[in-house]
Amino acid sequence: MNAYDEYMKEIVKPMRAELVSVGFKELTNAEMVSEHMTQATGTSLIMINSVCGCAAGLARPAVAQALTEVTNKPEHIVTVFAGQDQEATYQMRAFFEEVPPSSPSIAIVKDGKLAYFIPREQIEGFSMEHIKEHLVTVLNQVTAS
């Protein structure tokens, strides 16, 4: 591992921990992603994490808050880190190729099918409260059906 990779690994530790601390499981390689996506039943909330400011100030806090307010929590809460775990991110995006790559972003998958996707364009420029409410509404609809 070169100096840049080591530096970035240290920089993103708290960004990873922010999601792990609220129950997210990190999928750090393609095999972990494939295993989850082919075997998970029920609803999966998938956060494609990023080092950008809209991930730090908007997406991660909104997702964490939404999980405390949603009526029915998804059975699985997982994350991949764009730009850091490139194989895992690429593999995850392959499961919902119908949407353009976007990070940060939030996917809701139900029984192996993409049920909803919140791209960066619906995160950046919006308030954390708005993103949280959007996610709570969608999760309540998807997990209720």
Residue 13 clears pLDDT 90, i.e. is over it: yes
Name beta bridge partners: 106.
Answer: 47, 118
Q: What would the pLDDT profile of 33-83 be if each residue is shown by its tens digit?
A: 999 999 999 999 999 999 999 999 999 999 999 999 999 899 999 999 999
**Residue 85 contacts residue 93 (beta carbons within 8 Å):** no
Which one, of 111, 108, 112, 120, lies nearest residue 83 by Cα?
120
User: What pLDDT shows up at residue 59?
Assistant: 97
What is the chain's mean pLDDT, rounded? 95
Give catalytic residue positions. Answer: 52, 54
User: Between 89 and 144, whose confidence is greater?
Assistant: 89
CATH superfamily of 3-144: Glutaredoxin (3.40.30.10)
Question: Other CB atoms closer than 10 Å to residue 94's CB: what's the count?
Answer: 12
Q: What is the pLDDT of residue 8?
A: 86
The pLDDT value recorded for residue 2 is: 86
Dist CA 43 CA 3 (whole Å): 39
User: Is 145 a residue whose pLDDT tops 90?
Assistant: no
Q: Residue range 109-125: average pLDDT? A: 96
> What is the pLDDT at residue 67?
97
CA distances from 143 to 13, 50, 53, 59, 139 (A): 31, 26, 29, 20, 6
Residue 137 reports pLDDT greater than 80: yes
Average pLDDT over residues 107-114: 95
